[in-house]
Structure 1
């Protein structure tokens, strides 16, 4: 039987803890569970210690962000020779047979296996997941995607050894897109396990202008770090593309947006040396970013 370590990065986990952890403990296919807590301000760690004593808990003294905290778990997967890492968001839970259906998938040329994401109603596909998988292609009876968000990523041990961990240049958001780009760079696929169901409780979230501009910065940073591009193309897709959007916004009289895109381009330029180091590290097979 394959050994699986489920990794949950928590930050104020209370609203979902009594759905997320029991769903894993009740899984028809067993998994060890690790929670890496990012210095929660609520009772997350106390609840885990008192109510879920079999859950392994690592308490960070600071908020490490999503990628760095997950890297702690990925390092344990390698050191303790687990067969798979299963990354699960804190605002999520699983169908009882989800893991059993994930582990059935043949891992040849596969980097990431994803269940089908439903929202918190458990009846409707998660909106983001539906968008990401709309252009999926069918190959060898699997649906293959260029990207699926990391709410539920089932990753074989050899893939972690080859591709590495999340790039620390990303604090929260963007790290999963960057990792998916690296999966593609190494000739691996992201596939959907059609019979595996999981639930992501984020349907109530709303996006305002501030959140949109933050996502724009993250998007362009992932383009800058994309090792499937030459550095010149990456610069064009990130910095120059931001300046192009700035000019377009100015022509439309959208002064606030124009200033925001100028700020994005400037912030990207400031990060150029860090981006270069990230690209170099990500191009080295069997690298580790822990």
Structure 2
């Protein structure tokens, strides 16, 4: 696996990183981009995994931009495939080997994902199961076929464990900086399909995604998390280059927010006026970014790779 590089973006990864890195073991080379962790992640990796290519950052760049740095470095080192791995993911034996072997025989797939189990390996990861069932796949039959290699084509699978080919990166590029955290994997899948690559899930390769016990983050009205989530939904929907951009549809986003401002005024809700006013400015600002994103991503090229 000399030409395969696993890329891990870390941020305060101490609860998982030792098991994650041990599970990768001799399966591939590793590039780790740390997003300015405030725990002992960088020191721990330096001390216990000295052979890893570690790139500590001075600030949190977000998931997409940090991965772009890792992809860039991997290509410089001669990578034919990159394997994006979340910090809370553990690989089963030969996971990368199985994915790469399938990829070499099926170059039409730009992204190939393994099966995602939960952290304990007792059931499918909940979100992953939802993505698969949306494809109308017979999930039970697909999983029971694991002794016989089978791939399921999907329009989307989350980027907790993606094998991406160099050919795909050269045509599609890296993650779009329009997305800081969340939504970048959905946008990337849209672009992969637009440029005529397939996305598949391989039923003979497995990971464990250790995230089921974490509480869902609340997005209270007018908090930063609220605006981030709002922008994500807006961007995923309108930056999809597989659909034409509709100015009429986008204007509805303006009108809806303006109605919310008026309702707040009528109720003398000054916090609502300010909050929805900020949302309206976000709608306007995001439109220009979406249009630029669509124009660039519709062309082939290694965009966003530094």
Contact 1:91–1:202 under 8 Å retained in 2: yes
Could you tell me how far 1:135 is from its partner in structure 2?
2.5
Q: Number of aligned residue pairs: give it.
A: 280
> 1:242·1:262 contact (CA, 8 Å) conserved in 2?
no
Q: List runs of 5+ in structure 1 lacking aligned partners.
A: none
- C-alpha contact 2:258 2:280 (8 A) present in aligned 1: no
Q: Which runs of 5+ in 2 are unaligned?
A: 138-148, 264-268
Aligned to 2:203: 194
Which residue, out of 196, 215, 240, partners 2:252? 240
- Partner residue, 1:228: 242
- Structure 1: distance between partners of 2:153 and 2:82: 20
Task: Give the equivalent residue in structure 1 for 2:116.
Answer: 117
Aligned to 1:272: 287
Deviations 1:106-142 (A, max 9, x none): 333211000001111211111111111112367x952
**What is the Cα deviation at residue 149 of structure 1?**
0.6
Aligned ranges for residues 102-181 of structure 1 at < 5 Å?
102-105=99-102, 106-136=105-135, 142-181=151-190
When the two structures are superposed, what TM-score results if normalisation uses the length of structure 2? 0.82
Q: Does 1:64 align with 2:61?
A: yes
Taking the aligned partners of 1:121 and 1:266, their CA distance within structure 2 comes to: 44
- Residue 298 of structure 2 corresponds to residue 283 of structure 1: yes
RMSD between aligned residues: 2.7
Q: Does residue 1:73 correspond to 2:70, yes or no?
A: yes
Residues 1:132 and 1:263: Cα distance change in structure 2 (over 3 Å): farther
Contact residue 35 and residue 56 of structure 1 kept, 8 A:
yes
Distance in 1 (CA, whole Å) between partners of 2:117 and 2:94 is 15
- Aligned residues of 2:89 and 2:208 also touching (Cα < 8 A): yes
| Structure number, greater radius of gyration | 2
